[in-house]
Chain A
Amino acid sequence: MELLRPLVDGFETISITGMCKNAGKTTVLNTITSEYYGSCKVLALTSVGRDGEALDLVTGTYKPPIYVEKGTLAVTVEKLVPFCDITREIAEVLPFGTPMGRVVILRALSDGFVQLAGPSVTEQVVKLKDILYELGAEKIIVDGAINRRSLCSARVGRGTILCSGASYDRNIDTVVRDTAYICGVLMLEETEKRSGILQALQDADDSVKAICIGEKTAYADSESLIKEIKNGEPEQVYIRGALTDSALKPLLTLGRRISAFELIAEDSSRILLSQDIFRRWQAFGGRIRVLNRIELLAVTSNPYSAYGFHFDGKVLAARLREEIGVPVIDVMEGKKR
């Protein structure tokens, strides 16, 4: 039975994001590759960053290996090439350096195991994607780094799958609450007036931290922003870079006034607010939108924890479904069936 393919089929690039490590990202990736097996679609697989904790010190390998089909493009690094047992063509060696050598694109000339590792700098990922397309990739899957939501940036992948599970917390309530919150952030709507912001961004120099757009456009830094909002009565306030608690707290002093404008971040990955501040903002009627929307395709729930305890898979999935408006899939359960 196909669990994930119907969800990801319409997207050229998909990123897989974890709520924590051992949330089951590799299982999700392997599920996708197996569901595409024999489809003649050229998949390209890459992983974002190299997570120190993910390095298995016993075998010296990086992550649980991924089994790919002949024809797949797999991104890895020089030192991990010998750990890939596919018959392979070296399709490209990129100048992006990592502690484990440069980034290498392999073309699988047979089925087999690969170790994925790729660049983590957004610009490099974007460049890598171009090269993968040039080499014939039809669908790119980016294995996001654990606990680093920033890497599901819209520029990296328009569709994303969020992996959650028992490894996140011992308390099922915490798992459900936090997963629902992250989903809420990932599902924020795109602003309807993108063009105005894109235009204003073109004229903004590096010192600009915020742009107020109303009858006229005003550029502000963190100090002058409140004044600009009070005087200018903007309809949209675009915040450059990360949207953090410390950026938002001073604005909360504006009280009900914040309901008059849309607060806009580049994409969901830029929103690093605590749940408390996020809720307070909403309580005052504040709206948060994004410039580039990421499509949350599904949440996967893994009831098994790497720390020796587990939840009832059905209960976890059911509780998540209650809170989240996208498909919730128990990948392990699917496997058993």
Chain B
Amino acid sequence: MIRLSAENREKIGLEYVFSLMYPASPYGRAALRELAFYEPSRQTELEKEFDCIAALRPALMNGSEDIKRLRHALSQLRYIPESLKKLRNAECLETTELFELKSLLLRFEDIYTVWRRLAELFGVAGLEFADTEAALDLIDMDGMRTDGFHIPDSASAELAEARAQKRAFERSIAAEQDEEAKKRLLTERTNVAAKEAEEELRISRELCRALSRFAADIQGNTAVAARIDLLLCKAELAEAHGGVRPKIGKTRICYENMINPHAEALLRQHGGSFTPLSIELSSGATVITGANMGGKTMALKTAALNTALCQLGFFPFAERAEIVLVDGMYLLLDDNSAAERGLSSFGGEVEAINEAVSAADREMCFIAIDEPARGTNPIEGAAIAAAVVQHLNSQNTFALISTHYNGIASRAGAHYQIAGLEKLGIGVVKKLSHTTLRERVAYIGENMDYSLKKVEKDAPCPHEAMNICRMMELNSDIIDYAENVLTKTEQIV
């Protein structure tokens, strides 16, 4: 079963995507809070969900009047799950609950009509409402289809009689001048009012018994309304942020020019833009290497976000997408959570890796690990990272691992690199020699190429750290010495 912690949902930008959705109905809002992943066994259902989004997308543009009407009606739905539960158990509802039920049934009548038209026009299949007009006929006792709820005199002869008596008293009370006589009349009226209340209660009970056989249908209709509501949001998201229907296959997870709306929004605030990323994961391990600040973590998060979205029945944000449905998702995006659980960061990391690895032994998983073993000493760390990659690469699972360490990628199925500062070349150091620190930092930011490119498995990690040190004019003795050490270390490895 796929489970994502609230922390991971936040980190990969999934919560942000949810925050962009505005379900019109309270049922849609409730369903959004309880959104479940489509596991591989529900592939057919997921395909249907995608069919619906694809069908509704043009409806947003071309059926705008009906969509508006539909959303308005959805927004008017009363949220009465408790009353519906009571009704299902044939319990008697309060009159206020009957009012709400009537209102719900009235709004559903509007929704059925608009939805039938939209569904037919845009070819949306599999989302049908049960007909509940018979229930509305029962609860709308005088057949006026007004918004209020009351039990009319015609409901029973006894009720009509009690009310007639009460009215007679009321007329007498209004005409009576003597306070004492008025008091007597009021008392008598109260007795008749009690009779009326009793009869109303009997009628309500009978009504609820009759309505109870529609309870399941009405509950079902609220679920359909919730689905339609969320489908509209999903279609709208796809339209607004460039979603694409993913192909569900068996062999690879592949995104062409995918984006992460959360990161995009943050970058935009600072005048930047998100560089679309393309990546293809085959079964086994895929490694990403690249410069500091180059966006390795962002690549992991974006792949994780879009994979999660696909399995939640959303279109991923990419130009093209192909996915494999997985049984589990494991995201190790940094070690903060370990500290909260009271373990040392390394201990926590080991525990989390172990959990992911043992899951990968059992089932098809999507695993993203951001720089495994980064916190420990580099020799051991590199060895551990290499081993994790090697192990995961032999599994029938999709693992995406970022690392700083050299020589890890050769053990993976594929190796991607962040383009980084490579296009700048060595001449840039001279160019920057008379600029301020702030200008240099900005320059580095502007010239960082965040795109991913596939490289040879044994391609060395780029020495971007050294480049950055040079651009920042770190003491030249230190740079020379570091170069020296680097050459020797590489020989050792």
Which of B148, B174, B190 sits near A111, CB closer than 8 Å? B174
Which of B98, B150, B170, B194 sits near A88, CB closer than 8 Å? B150
Q: Which residues of B contact A111 (CB under 8 A)?
A: 170, 173-174
Interface 1/0s, chain A 277-321, versus B by CB < 8 A?
000000000000000000000000000000000000000000000
Judge whether B166 is part of the interface by a CB distance below 8 angstroms: yes
Q: Which residues of A contact B193 (CB under 8 A)?
A: 85, 112
Contact A90 B197 (CB under 8 A): no
Most A CB contacts (10 A, CB to CB) among B95, B147, B194 go to B95
Judge whether B292 is part of the interface by a CB distance below 8 angstroms: no
Inter-chain residue pair count (beta carbon < 8 A)? 55
Judge whether B454 is part of the interface by a CB distance below 8 angstroms: no
Judge whether B94 is part of the interface by a CB distance below 8 angstroms: yes
Instruction: Return B140 CB to nearest CB of chain A, in Å.
Output: 12
- Answer whether A107 and B148 are a contact pair too, CB < 8 Å, given A38-B174, A81-B95, A93-B96: yes
Contact A90 B170 (CB under 8 A): no
- For B103, the closest partner residue in chain A by CB is A93
A38–B170 alpha-carbon span in the complex (Å): 12
Contact A89 B173 (CB under 8 A): no
A37–B170 alpha-carbon span in the complex (Å): 12
Q: Which of A42-98 contact B (CB under 8 A)?
A: 70, 78, 81-82, 85, 87-93
- For A69, the closest partner residue in chain B by CB is B174
Contact B95 A90 (CB under 8 A): yes
Q: Which residues of A contact B163 (CB under 8 A)?
A: 87, 110
Q: Which of B81-109 contact A (CB under 8 A)?
A: 94-96, 98-100
Q: Which residues of A contact B99 (CB under 8 A)?
A: 90, 92-93
Which of A85, A91, A109 sits near B197, CB closer than 8 Å? A85
Interface 1/0s, chain B 270-306, versus A by CB < 8 A?
0000000000000000000000000000000000000
A81–B194 alpha-carbon span in the complex (Å): 14
Number of interface residues, chain A, beta carbon within 8 A: 22
Instruction: Return A58 CB to nearest CB of chain B, in Å.
Output: 17
Interface 1/0s, chain A 200-239, versus B by CB < 8 A?
0000000000000000000000000000000000000000
Contact A89 B96 (CB under 8 A): no
Instruction: Return B175 CB to nearest CB of chain A, in Å.
Output: 11
Judge whether B149 is part of the interface by a CB distance below 8 angstroms: yes
Instruction: Return B144 CB to nearest CB of chain A, in Å.
Output: 11
- For B201, the closest partner residue in chain A by CB is A82
Q: Which residues of B contact A87 (CB under 8 A)?
A: 150, 163, 166, 196
Judge whether B68 is part of the interface by a CB distance below 8 angstroms: no
Contact B174 A91 (CB under 8 A): no
A107–B99 alpha-carbon span in the complex (Å): 13
Q: Which residues of A contact B196 (CB under 8 A)?
A: 87
Judge whether B167 is part of the interface by a CB distance below 8 angstroms: yes
Judge whether A166 is part of the interface by a CB distance below 8 angstroms: no
Most B CB contacts (10 A, CB to CB) among A87, A89, A93, A102 go to A87
Q: Which residues of A contact B147 (CB under 8 A)?
A: 91-92
Judge whether A104 is part of the interface by a CB distance below 8 angstroms: yes
Instruction: Return B74 CB to nearest CB of chain A, in Å.
Output: 17
- For A111, the closest partner residue in chain B by CB is B170
Query: For chain B, which range describes its interface: under 10, 10 to 19, 20 to 34, or 35 or more residues?
Result: 20 to 34
Which of A38, A93, A110 sits near B167, CB closer than 8 Å? A110
A110–B174 alpha-carbon span in the complex (Å): 12
Contact A90 B174 (CB under 8 A): no
Q: Which of B415-436 contact A (CB under 8 A)?
A: none
Q: Which residues of B contact A101 (CB under 8 A)?
A: 96
Interface 1/0s, chain B 167-203, versus A by CB < 8 A?
1001001100000000000000110011011000000
Contact B166 A90 (CB under 8 A): no
Contact B150 A104 (CB under 8 A): no
Instruction: Return A112 CB to nearest CB of chain B, in Å.
Output: 7
- Answer whether A90 and B148 are a contact pair too, CB < 8 Å, given A78-B96, A81-B96, A104-B96: yes
A141–B47 alpha-carbon span in the complex (Å): 58
Which of B96, B173, B194 sits near A90, CB closer than 8 Å? B96
Which of B100, B148, B170 sits near A89, CB closer than 8 Å? B148
Instruction: Return B149 CB to nearest CB of chain A, in Å.
Output: 5
Q: Which residues of A contact B190 (CB under 8 A)?
A: 85
Contact A109 B150 (CB under 8 A): yes
Q: Which of B142-170 contact A (CB under 8 A)?
A: 147-150, 163, 166-167, 170
Contact B170 A110 (CB under 8 A): yes
- For B194, the closest partner residue in chain A by CB is A85
Instruction: Return A84 CB to nearest CB of chain B, in Å.
Output: 10
- For B99, the closest partner residue in chain A by CB is A90
Which of B100, B148, B173, B194 sits near A91, CB closer than 8 Å? B148
Q: Which residues of B contact A110 (CB under 8 A)?
A: 163, 166-167, 170
- Answer whether A89 and B150 are a contact pair too, CB < 8 Å, given A37-B174, A111-B173: yes
Contact B149 A102 (CB under 8 A): no
Which of A38, A78, A90 sits near B150, CB closer than 8 Å? A90
A104–B95 alpha-carbon span in the complex (Å): 11
Contact A112 B170 (CB under 8 A): yes
Instruction: Return A37 CB to nearest CB of chain B, in Å.
Output: 7
Contact B149 A89 (CB under 8 A): yes
Q: Which residues of B contact A92 (CB under 8 A)?
A: 99, 147-148
Q: Which residues of A contact B174 (CB under 8 A)?
A: 37-38, 111
Contact A90 B167 (CB under 8 A): no
CB-defined A-B contacts under 8 Å, sample of 29: A37-B174, A78-B94, A78-B96, A81-B96, A82-B197, A85-B190, A87-B150, A87-B163, A87-B196, A88-B95, A88-B150, A89-B148, A89-B149, A89-B150, A90-B96, A90-B99, A90-B148, A90-B149, A90-B150, A92-B148, A93-B96, A93-B99, A93-B100, A101-B96, A107-B150, A110-B163, A110-B167, A111-B173, A112-B193
Q: Which 5 A-B pairs have the closest CB atoms?
A: A89-B150, A90-B99, A85-B193, A111-B170, A89-B148
| Residues of chain A at the chain B interface (Cβ within 8 Å) | 37-38, 70, 78, 81-82, 85, 87-93, 101-102, 104, 107, 109-112
